[in-house]
Structure formats: structure tokens, C-alpha cells
Structure 1
Amino acid sequence: METFKAKTIDEYIATFPVEVRPLLEEVREAILNAIPDAEEAISYDMPTFNLNGSYVIYFAGWKKHIALYPITETMSAKLKEELAGYKGTKNSVHFPLNKPMPVDLIAKIVEAKLIETPRRSKARR
């Protein structure tokens, strides 16, 4: 039996329990508000937001949290106080499903990632 693989972020979100979907949409909206020109995609089976041919940020839903990737050392240092209340791994931050999504913090993370993301011109591709 073949495993379903979402091809769009809408399909990805639809695979989650009804009560989790609005949280995933909040994360999606926070990212799109920070980078309105982003192109949505699925990469590594996760919602991905690309700009000028380069990925900027990914998110993924899990059983107890939504994770944002990648969080670099520079970003962690810059946002140390804001990230202090959240768990994560070396390259991610986890937002628990049982708390409101910190949309302002998500926007700050995306903005910090944009500073680090090399901008490839569409003309150079």
C-alpha cells in the first residue's frame, strides 16, 4: 500500500486532526505575512516557503507541536529571549499545540531567516 504524500500545503494540512488544522493555518499565515511573495511548496514532505528559487523556511506538524526549520545559531542568538520558553532541536523550534501559536515570534524568525538567506535572482537561473 502506497503512503499518501501531500503535493500542496492544503493537502498537508488536511491530513491533520480537525483541531490542529487552524494552528497549522496560523503558522502558514504568519509566514506568508512575513514573506508575501513566497512560493508555497512541499519539500522533504513538509510545507516549504521559497523566495527567488531558494527555500526560506519549513514547518511541520507533529503529535504535540508544530516545528519551524531551520533555526540557525545566529537566529537562536538573536532571538534568545523570545525562544527561551520553547523546546526544539539544534535546528528547530517547537511550538506546543496546547498553547496559542506565537505568530509575532514566527514572523520574527522568518525575518531573521530572510536576512541569512542568499537571494538568487530569477534572471540568473
Structure 2
Amino acid sequence: MPRGFAADTVEDYLRAVPDDQREALTEVRAALLAAIPDAREVISYQIPVFQYGKRGLVGLSAAQTHCSLHLMSPPLAKAFAASGELTEGTLSGATLQFPNDAPLSEETVRLVVERRIAEVDARR
């Protein structure tokens, strides 16, 4: 479960999380910003959410013992679980959890983002 941190911006959120989580989240954030065309960052449900167009694409958060990339798509999470394509982190529902000391790679982030963008574009 993500921990809520009082934040109006992603920078505020990152300043509020513990140091080890800040490092991991900052790395994954950079990969997300590189992978999402014209990404927009907002705080929604007390966590950073990365938008594609006007839609929430993925979220990022710190939990008690790990960090999380919120896929925001139960169908995509089920597809990843069935395919075994994700070699990093652990899927829990529609959330990809990863250890504080092992941020997700750019390749994993790119794979998740590409699939989420395809879902969003297909709904348009």
C-alpha cells in the first residue's frame, strides 16, 4: 500500500520520502519521463502520476518496505503475469513492486510504458 506524503508536486513527494526510496524513485522517474512522449506529472491520490495526453498512464510511490510502479491497468498486469515478460519486480494486483535498492531498469519501464500507451491509444 502506498504511503501518503503531503505533496503538491512530484518534487515535494520525492523530498518527503526516505533517502533510499528517493534514489530509486528518482531513477525510475527519469526513465518514465524519457519513455512517455510529452509526459505531464501530477499528484493524484497522494502519489506522482505520469500522464500521457490527458490520461493517467502510470503512478509511482513509496510503500513501507518497497517502491511501486502502478500500472493503472488490471488487464495489462494480468497479461504481464501470464506472459512472464517482466523479469524485475513483483506484480501485486496492478502494481509492480520493486526493492528500494533495485530500481526498475529503463528497459522494464519502457516496456510498461509502451504497453500502456498502446492501451490508451486503442481507446481513443
TM-score normalised by structure 2 residue count: 0.80
Q: CA deviation at 1:61?
A: 1.0
Q: Distance in 1 between matches of 2:80 and 2:5?
A: 38
Find out whether 1:88 has 2:91 as its counterpart: yes
Q: CA deviation at 1:21?
A: 1.3
Q: CA deviation at 1:101?
A: 2.9
Q: Distance in 2 between matches of 1:112 and 1:94?
A: 18
Listed as ranges, the matches of 1:89-108 within 5 Å are: 89-108=92-111
Larger Rg: 1
What is the one-letter code of the residue matched to 2:33?
Answer: L
Other-structure match for 1:60 = 61
Other-structure match for 2:76 = 74
Q: Structure 1 residues 75 and 8, CA, compared in 2 at 3 Å: closer, same or farther?
A: same
**C-alpha RMSD of the superposition:** 2.5
Listed as ranges, the matches of 1:11-90 within 5 Å are: 11-69=12-70, 70-78=72-80, 80-83=83-86, 86-90=89-93
Other-structure match for 1:109 = 112
Q: How many residues align?
A: 119
Q: CA deviation at 1:109?
A: 0.4
What is the one-letter code of the residue matched to 2:74?
Answer: T
Q: Distance in 1 between matches of 2:87 and 2:79?
A: 10
Which sections of structure 2, spanning at least 5 residues, go unmatched?
none
Q: Distance in 2 between matches of 1:74 and 1:91?
A: 8
- Give percent identity, aligned residues only: 29
What's the secondary structure of 2:85's corresponding residue? Answer: helix
CA deviation string 1:19-48 (max 9, x = no partner) = 321211111111101014011100000101
Which sections of structure 1, spanning at least 5 residues, go unmatched?
none
> Which structure has greater helix proportion?
2
